[in-house]
Amino acid sequence: MQQCDYLLRQIEQLGRVLGKILADLLGLKEQGKAHQGLVFAVEQFRDELDLDLGKLISIPEEDFIETLTGLREWNADHLVTFADILLELAEGHAQTGEQERARDLYRRVLLLYRYLDQTEAVFSLERAYKKERILKLL
């Protein structure tokens, strides 16, 4: 029973950390501080989740989903939030002129959204809109 409680706490903590990273990224974006948001996200992933965001993003596309779904206790909600974080990072890179990096991140967001479309029972209109917007950018 204690192990189950510990696991639930870990899952909840992961969700809170990802949510905070996304909220802080959005706040920095609104302030016009896209570059600072990029640096912040890298630091938060390292400090709060003990993950190297650069390495995570550099995983080959064909292994990306399998790697993410194998991480800790990541569930669909975590993947949605992570996809939204990557989308914000892609937009930040696009704003700072790093188009190639932005395209790479957009492709990974699409991979996540497509995976979620296949595995989730509920259709997400917001996700469909974001996919359409990303496809136009690519």
- pTM here is 0.84
Confidence of residue 10 (pLDDT cuts 50, 70, 90): low
pLDDT at 135 over 60: yes
Task: Give how many domains the chain has, as a whole number.
Answer: 1
pLDDT at 130 over 60: yes
pLDDT at 3 over 60: no
User: What mean pLDDT do residues 106-128 have?
Assistant: 90
Q: What is the DSSP string of the chain?
A: -HHHHHHHHHHHHHHHHHHHHHHHHHHHHHTT-HHHHHHHHHHHHHHHH---HHHHHTS-HHHHHHHHHTSTT--HHHHHHHHHHHHHHHHHHHHTT-HHHHHHHHHHHHHHHHHHHHH-SS--HHHHHHHHHHHHH-
pLDDT tens column, 37-70: 778 888 887 887 777 888 888 889 888 888 888 8
Instruction: Write down the pLDDT at residue 24.
Output: 77
Instruction: Write down the pLDDT at residue 12.
Output: 66
Range of the domain at 123: 2-137
Confidence of residue 112 (pLDDT cuts 50, 70, 90): very high
pLDDT tens column, 64-111: 888 888 876 778 888 888 899 889 888 888 888 888 988 999 999 999
User: What mean pLDDT do residues 13-22 have?
Assistant: 76
